[in-house]
Amino acid sequence: MHGLTLKRENHVRSSILQTSIALSVLLFPATGQKRSGATPSDMSAEVIFRRFAGRILFLTCDVSPDKERAASGVLISADGLVLTNAHVVEECQSITATILTGQMRQPFSARLKYYGPQTDTAVLKIDARGLDHFNVVSVPARVGERVYAIGNPRGLEQSISEGIVAGVRERDGTSWIQHSAPISPGSSGGALISAAGDLLGINSFLLADSQNLNFAVPATTLVSALSAARKLTGYLNFPPAQRSIISQLNPNGQQYLWIPPGKFMMGCAPGDDRCSGDEKPRHEVEITEGFWLGQTTVTVGAWKRYRAATGKAATPPLSQIGRAHV
């Protein structure tokens, strides 16, 4: 009887121990255990900032002696290649790229190596060596994953914000990452970083009069921009200003129209009484990149005839009405 009692006690103790272990696993999961979509390699905002903020540069575009703009750039090579947006470099007389390390400031004169307005990408070069930088690889963004934006919104150096990837969009052959990490003017060219520390893209624009509809150039596009920049042996002049903020109405109260790429006929055929006197004779026009028609470059009547002939609507891609670069 004594031996039977001991066996029963041991069995009870073993059951209690197993139950306690099971409750511990449920209530206190082991560190690094995958849960709620997180992975063991995910980093906190604090770690992301500490590791990567020094790779984000403060860009100053000197438009004129009494006017300058602030933006952001991302170091992508040890020898001083910097990614930013095409609209950041437009209209600049010169650009200063400043490396921020704690309280230290290292300003460099930046030259233009590549300019791609269609994808809103540009590559700058500063004369420096041994720099901490991101490796630019084609890392796809996953909808729902956590992301961090680091840049200089409104001139506030190395600001970090958090969000998720809300979507991956493609319009007119150009891809964009839609995300909810807050950005503002000055964030342009700043990094969009995954929780694993990958450079997913650089921030480009937001949709005005909306709530956190922010867009970044994806890493796949950045790879192409970097490749093109490395192939160029010389440097480019800074380009003139393009239309950075797009509105429905121009200063004369006329509606902007989106002209898509393609070949079409413009102008007046002889004897066509529907034409106004300011139209040119009929001729073929080839447009390689879509653009907004805000002034009377061509008449609205000519545009309507083109639209009727081709069936193409005047709807801008990616809801570009109200789109504003940051």
Catalytic residue among 120, 133, 161, 204: 120
Active site residue 87: yes
Please name the residues in contact with 154: beta carbons below 8 A apart, sequence gap of 6 or more.
70, 184, 185, 186
Asked if residue 190 and residue 58 are part of one domain, the reply reads yes
* Alpha-carbon gap, residue 123 to 108, rounded angstroms: 15
Asked if residue 149 and residue 67 are part of one domain, the reply reads yes
The answer to whether position 14 is within a domain reads no
Active site residue 120: yes
The reported pTM is: 0.67
Tokens 């905002």: give the residue: 45
Asked if residue 210 and residue 98 are part of one domain, the reply reads yes
Per-residue pLDDT of the chain (326 residues; tens, 9 = 90+): 444 444 445 554 555 445 443 444 333 344 333 333 456 679 999 999 999 999 999 999 999 889 999 999 999 999 999 999 999 999 999 999 999 998 899 999 999 999 998 899 999 999 999 999 999 999 999 999 999 999 999 999 999 999 999 999 987 678 999 999 999 999 999 999 999 999 999 999 988 777 889 999 999 999 999 999 999 888 999 988 654 333 333 444 444 455 555 565 666 666 666 565 555 666 666 665 555 554 334 445 555 555 655 555 444 444 444 456 77
Predicted pLDDT of residue 259: 55
Asked if residue 170 and residue 265 are part of one domain, the reply reads no
Domain residues for the domain of 176 are 46-231
Asked if residue 299 and residue 184 are part of one domain, the reply reads no
Asked if residue 137 and residue 185 are part of one domain, the reply reads yes
Active site residue 198: no
Catalytic residue among 87, 133, 179, 325: 87
Catalytic residue among 72, 77, 184, 188: 188
Asked if residue 182 and residue 265 are part of one domain, the reply reads no
> CB neighbours (10 Å) of residue 116?
18
**C-alpha neighbours within 13 Å on the C-beta side of residue 158:** 19
Asked if residue 272 and residue 124 are part of one domain, the reply reads no
Asked if residue 224 and residue 306 are part of one domain, the reply reads no
